[in-house]
Amino acid sequence: MQYRAFGSLDWKVSALGFGCMRFPTTDGKAGNIDQDQVTEMIRHAVDAGMNYLDTAYVYHDQKSEAALGKALRDGYRERVRIATKSAIWLLEKGDDFDRMLDEQLTRLQTDTIDFYLLHALNRKRWDRVHQLDVLRRAEAARADGRIRHLGFSFHDSLDVFKGIVDAYDAWDFCQIQYNYMDTAFQAGTEGLRYAASKGLAVVIMEPLRGGKLAIDLPATRPIWDSASRKRTPVDWALQWLWNQPGVSVVLSGMSTLQQVKENIASAHASGIATLTADELAIIESASDALKALSPVPCTNCEYCMPCPNGVNIPLNFDFYNQVAMYGAIDRTRFQYKMWVPDSEKAGMCIQCDECLSKCPQDIPISTWLPVVADVLEEKQPYVNSI
């Protein structure tokens, strides 16, 4: 296993971390985790040198933490660092922070959580953090030993990300969605470098865009095949991340022992600045080929924002374009439902046309948004045109 710096902390993290959001289940239902398989997978990973395990209060219908706690019995807990998250949106009053944290300690069968994150921060949840005085409570938990290090995971725009990084000088780390397709999405490359420059460790989630970059796609297959060194689509995506010095650890939500073994093999071969210029060009070509499939030529410049009716126009177009790029419509619909608030969905568009004159790409936004709503809200099948 390769190990990397974890921000400014005096500790080395394994290049690959175990994301505990996609455990195998007994019947396909999120809460019915197959504990025997999970225990085998996690212990195999730890024995191979993996030392960072990431879960959350809400994963697997609130069963992930307990499953991880069971898997780390028999001396395995002492060999790893655990990361879990406070579900800010479930906190109704300040005391709920401590109640949730204490419950998590019980589930995980541990006296302390090594890395504690405020989960999925965005502009609204960051406001809630202040309203409920969460940072003060987190500092108290750090002082009494219930948590060791404090960070946050993130889903919003770059300016919001930078604002959160700068607003609190005691962050130890952050977690962002990042992959070779998301260089300008949410925090993106600029956010990664910004956080790293501040001494924060940067944990990467969604390295495969929810599994979409693991698919052997016709658009990218000839590009991968042209490389002198053959890799799977998964390995290309992971190596692109590990090539960057600002990346501390890449999380993979693994569901089978075979996935664990394959990703560990990739991690063994990882390193900073190990990809050649030709290999980086190949990855860029694959990204360009996927983006060329996008029916809506949105560049995420946000000139159309804010929408007077609250629609997050670039985000809606991004999800719609994903259907064309990857063909994973069910997965994309699930993510759209989970990550786009109802008040920001395409269906909120009232065709006021205020955005039309602002778009430098001359996109007929108010014509596209009803199409996006029909497809992503499961009203109509996907059609790659209007």
- The answer as to whether 257 is a domain residue is yes
Same domain? For 224 and 370 the reply is no
Type of residue found at 288: D
Supply the pLDDT for residue 385: 46
Q: How many structural domains are present in the chain?
A: 2
Q: Convert the pLDDT of each residue in 3-32 to its tens digit.
A: 999 999 999 999 999 999 999 999 988 899
**Low-confidence residues of the chain, pLDDT below 70?**
379-386
Supply the pLDDT for residue 381: 57
Count CB neighbours of 342 within 10 A. Answer: 10
- The answer as to whether 212 is a domain residue is yes
- The answer as to whether 384 is a domain residue is yes
- The answer as to whether 299 is a domain residue is yes
Supply the pLDDT for residue 383: 54
Supply the pLDDT for residue 304: 93
For the whole model, what pTM was predicted? 0.86
Same domain? For 250 and 144 the reply is yes
Beta bridge partners of 117: 85, 151
Structural contact between residues 6 and 171, judged by C-beta atoms closer than 8 angstroms:
no
Same domain? For 315 and 197 the reply is no
User: Which CATH number do you get for residue 254?
Assistant: 3.20.20.100
Domain boundary among 254, 283, 312: 283
- The answer as to whether 242 is a domain residue is yes
Same domain? For 31 and 164 the reply is yes
Domain residues for the domain of 353 are 293-386
Torsion of CA 19, 21, 24, 28, to 10 degrees: -160
Same domain? For 7 and 118 the reply is yes
Assign 323 to helix, strand or coil.
helix
Distance CA 100, CA 104 (A): 6
Beta bridge partners of 177: 205
Same domain? For 81 and 211 the reply is yes
Same domain? For 242 and 360 the reply is no
Distance CA 138, CA 382 (A): 45
Same domain? For 259 and 375 the reply is no
Supply the pLDDT for residue 378: 74
Assign 264 to helix, strand or coil.
helix
Domain boundary among 283, 311, 334: 283
Same domain? For 278 and 370 the reply is no
Q: Convert the pLDDT of each residue in 203-257 to its tens digit.
A: 999 999 888 899 888 999 999 999 999 999 999 999 999 999 999 999 999 999 9
Cα distances (Å, whole numbers) of residue 156 to 120, 186, 234, 335, 383 = 9, 5, 25, 14, 28
Same domain? For 142 and 223 the reply is yes
Distance CA 330, CA 315 (A): 17
- The answer as to whether 147 is a domain residue is yes
Supply the pLDDT for residue 330: 86
- The answer as to whether 326 is a domain residue is yes
- The answer as to whether 288 is a domain residue is no
Type of residue found at 372: V
Supply the pLDDT for residue 159: 95
Same domain? For 51 and 165 the reply is yes
Same domain? For 270 and 299 the reply is no
DSSP strand pairing (173-177 vs 113-121): unpaired
